Structure 1
Amino acid sequence: MFANVPHALSLRTRVLLVLTALLATLTPAAPAAAEAARASGSPHGAEVVAVTQVADRQVDLSVRSTALGGRTVKVRLLTPDGWNPDDRRRQHWPTLWLLHGCCGDYTSWTARTDVAETAALRDVLVVMPEAGWNGWYGDWWNHGEGGDPAWETFHTEELRHLLERDWGAGRDRVVAGLSMGGQGALLYAARHPGMFKATASYSGSAHPLLNDESVNRILGFFAGQDNDPLRVWGDPVAQRRIWKAHDPFHLAKRLRSIPVYLSCGDGTTGPLDAPGAVSALETDFNRQNHALAEELRRVGARHLTTNFYGPGTHVWAYWERELHASLPMLLGALKTDGARVK
C-alpha cells in the first residue's frame, strides 16, 4: 500500500500512515482515531488530518482549513522519485500546481490525463488541490461579509505554507490549469507576484468582463448547485472593482515579467472531438484569450506563448495535449535539469 514511501520514515509519519490505513476499515463514527491521525497544526490555519496512498507516487492529504470554515478538503500530490517528507535534510522539490476546472475536483488531472505517467514530472512535486465544484479560485465576497469559502487564501497561504513545512514543497513554483482552473492559474500568478515563476492556461476564462455574453455565462456558473451568483464577486456593475481584480485581462501588467502560455480552441469540431461536437463556451473563451494575448503584448509581456489551435472544443483531450506542449516552458522556468532542489 505504501510502496513508494521510503523505509526511513520518522516515527511520526509511520504512526500517521498506519492510523490512516486503519481508519479506512472503521466506521465513520471514530473521532478518537481521526484525531490521532492528525499530523500537526499549522500557524497558517490548516492541518493535515489524514493521509492516503491512492496509487504509486499518488498521495491524498485531507486538509482541515480555517479559510474554508473548518471544512476538510482533499489535496492530491504526485510525488517525485525519492520523495520523503520526513527526510532530516529537509529536501524540498520544485513544484507544479495543477488546477482543475468547474465541475471537476482534485482527482480530475490524474483521472482524465496521463499526468501520472509523464516522465518529465518525476523530478517535481505536482500539487492538485480541491477548489470546489465552482469555487473560482477566489475568496468569495459573500455580500461584503467575506469568509467561507476563501479558496485563494486556502491555496496561496494555508496550503502553500503547509506543503513547504511538512511535505517537501520548495519555493520554486509554476502553476497551470484548465477552464476555471486556467483562470485560477492566471489569477494566482498575477495576484501573488513572485509566488509562481510561470503560468499556463488551457481554455481558461481569461477575460470574463469581455462583454455581456461573457459576464452572463460566468454568472451562470456562479449560480451552479443553486448558489446565489452574487456571493462570488458581487454584482458586475456595483462591485466592478472586485470583478476587475479577478479578471486576468485587467491584471495583464502583473503577468508581463513571467512566462505565460495561453491555449484555446474555437469551439468547432476538431481532430480530438466526437463528430459534430461544438462548444459555445470554448468559442467565448477563445475570444477572451485572444483579448488577453493582445493586452499582454500591449503591456510588453516578455515571454508569451499562444496556441490558438482553431477547431477544438472544451474537452480533456486538448487539455492533456496542451499540458505536454507547455511543460518545456513550465519546467524551464523551474530550471529542472534532473537535479533536486534542496
Structure 2
Amino acid sequence: MTRSWIGRRAVVAATFLLALSPLAPAAAAPPVVEAAGAALRPAGAEVVAVTKVAERLTDLSVRSPALGGRVVKVRLLTPDGWNPADRRQHWPSFWLLAGCCGDYTAWSGTDIAKIESLRKVLVVMPEAGWNGWYSNWWNHGAGGDPAWETFHTVELRRLLEKDWGASSNRVVAGLSMGGQGALLYAARHPGMFRAAAAYSASAHPLLNTESINRIMGFFGGQGGDPRRVWGDPVAQRNIWAAHDPYYLAHHLKSLPLYLSSGDGTAGPFDQPDALEADFNRQNKALAAALTQAGAKRLTTNFYGPGTHAWPYWQRELHSSLPILLTALNVRP
C-alpha cells in the first residue's frame, strides 16, 4: 500500500484484494444514537413468499420499503413447537448476522442446527447485502442506496414480532461485517438487544489509515463508489464515528458483551492473514475503550494464532452461547 484514502481520496485495488476474506464467507463528533423504538419508519414491509428449506429452516422473502422495494431473504432456524399461526406464542430471538461477502445462508454451513440449546429460541439470519455494512447508507434514497439498519431494526423486527413468533427478548451476534453490525445495533438502539457477541469484527474502522483503507476497499467492492456507504472518511467523519463501535463504547458498557479475534498469524487451520491482524488490533482497542467506560460484563477471547475463517467463528459461537442465552433467560 503506497497511497492512503485520506491523503489521495482513492481506493487502491491492492488493498481491496488484501482485504477480501474467505467469507462467502483529531476527535470525532459525538455519534448519533437512536433509542429503541424511535424513528419507526418506513413501515409497510411485507412477506411475499415463504419457503421451507429443511427441518426447522424456513426462508422468508420480504419486500422492503427501506431497500427501495427490493425483495430480500431472511432465514429462520425455528424452535421446537414453533407455529407462526398461533399468535399467542412468542419466542426469545437470537439474531445471527453474516459477514461481507456472504449472504443470509452463511451460518447454515455451520453446526447451528445441531446445537440443542438453540432449539429453545428463534434464530434470525437476515440478508444484509454483499457489502451492506448493517447501515443506512448516508445518502440512502438517492440512486436506490439501501437503508439496511432501518430494514433490520424496524421493518424486520416488526414483522417477526407481529406474524412469526418473535418476542421482544433479543440478543445479537455476528462475524466480521456482521460482528460490527451486532455491536452497532446494540449501541445505536439501546434496549433492543440484551447482549451482543462479535467474532473477528470490524470493531474500530477509524483506528488508523490501514483500517480505513481496508474498509474502503470493501465499500468499493463490485465496482461501487466507496463513499456511498458512510461518505468520505474526512468530510463525513461524524458519520463514520457514528458507525464505529469504538466511539459507541459508552452505549455498550452496560450490556453483556463477547469479543473475540485471532492475531492473524497461522493457526491450526490456515496461513497468516493481514485482515484478521487488523481486526484484532481494532477489537483490542474497543475492549480498552469499554474497560475505560466502565464495562463490567465484558468477556474477551483474543486467542492468538488464528485467521479470518469459519472454523474459528463456529468455535467462538459455541464459546459465547452461555452469555447470550443467559441474557435471554434460556438455559444454555
Q: Secondary structure at the match of 1:232?
A: helix
1:157 to 154, 159, 173: 154
What do the CA deviations read for 1:152-189 (whole angstroms, capped 9, x no partner)?
00000000000000000000000000000000000000
TM (norm. structure 1) is: 0.83
Equivalenced residue count is: 292
| 1:302-324 superposed Cα distances (whole Å, 9 cap, x missing partner) | 20000000000000000000000
Equivalent residue, structure 1, for 2:91: 93
Letter of the structure 2 residue corresponding to residue 321 of structure 1:
R
Q: Secondary structure at the match of 1:173?
A: strand
328-337 or 152-161: which moved more?
328-337
CA–CA separation in structure 2 for the residues paired with 1:97 and 1:62? 17
Q: Give the aligned partner of residue 107 of structure 2.
A: 109
Decide whether aligned partners of structure 1 residues 104 and 143 sit closer, same or farther in structure 2, where only a CA change above 3 A counts.
closer
RMSD: 1.5
Tell me which moved more, 144-153 or 261-270.
144-153
Q: Secondary structure at the match of 2:67?
A: coil
Q: Contact 1:100–1:180 at 8 Å: present in 2 too?
A: yes
Contact 1:47–1:64 under 8 Å retained in 2 = yes
Equivalent pair of 1:140/1:147 in contact (CA under 8 Å): no
Is 1:195 aligned to residue 174 of structure 2? Answer: no
The offset of 1:117, in angstroms, is 1.0
Match of 2:73 in 1: 74
Normalising by structure 2, report the TM-score: 0.86
Q: Which residue is equivalent to 2:278?
A: 284
Alignment identity in percent? 74
**Could you tell me how far 1:44 is from its partner in structure 2?**
2.1
| Counterpart check, 1:141 vs 2:150 | no
Q: Distance in 2 between matches of 1:98 and 1:124?
A: 12
Name the CA distance, whole Å, in 2 between partners of 1:183 and 1:143.
20
Does the Cα contact within 8 Å between 2:136 and 2:150 map onto a contact in 1?
yes
Distance 1:307 1:316 in 2: 16
| Separation (CA, whole Å) in 1 of partners of 2:46 and 2:141 | 27
Among 166, 178, 182, which residue is 2:179 paired with?
182
Aligned partner of 2:14 in structure 1 is none
Q: Does 1:316 align with 2:310?
A: yes
Separation of aligned partners in 2, 1:254 and 1:145: 30
SS where residue 300 of structure 2 aligns? strand
The one-letter code matched in structure 2 to 1:110 is S
Compared CA separation, residues 144 and 240, structure 1 to 2 (3 A): farther
Secondary structure at the counterpart of residue 314 of structure 2: helix
One-letter code of the match for 1:77? L
Taking a change above 3 Å as real, the CA distance of residues 329 and 143 of structure 1, as seen in their structure-2 partners, is closer
The 8 Å contact of residues 76 and 129 in structure 1, kept in 2 or not, is answered as: yes
CA contact (8 A) 1:143 1:234 kept: no
SS of the aligned residue for 1:91 comes to coil
Determine which of 280, 304, 318 is the counterpart of 2:298: 304
Match of 2:264 in 1: 267
Q: Distance in 1 between matches of 2:206 and 2:293?
A: 19
Secondary structure at the aligned position of 2:120 is classed as coil
CA–CA distance in 2 between the matches of 1:96 and 1:188? 13
The offset of 1:43, in angstroms, is 8.0
Change (3 A) 1:300 1:255: same
Query: 1:336 Cα shift?
Result: 1.1
Cα deviation for residue 148 of structure 1 reads 3.0
Q: 1:225 aligned to 2:222?
A: yes
- Match of 1:236, SS? coil
Query: Higher Cα Rg: structure 1 or 2?
Result: 1
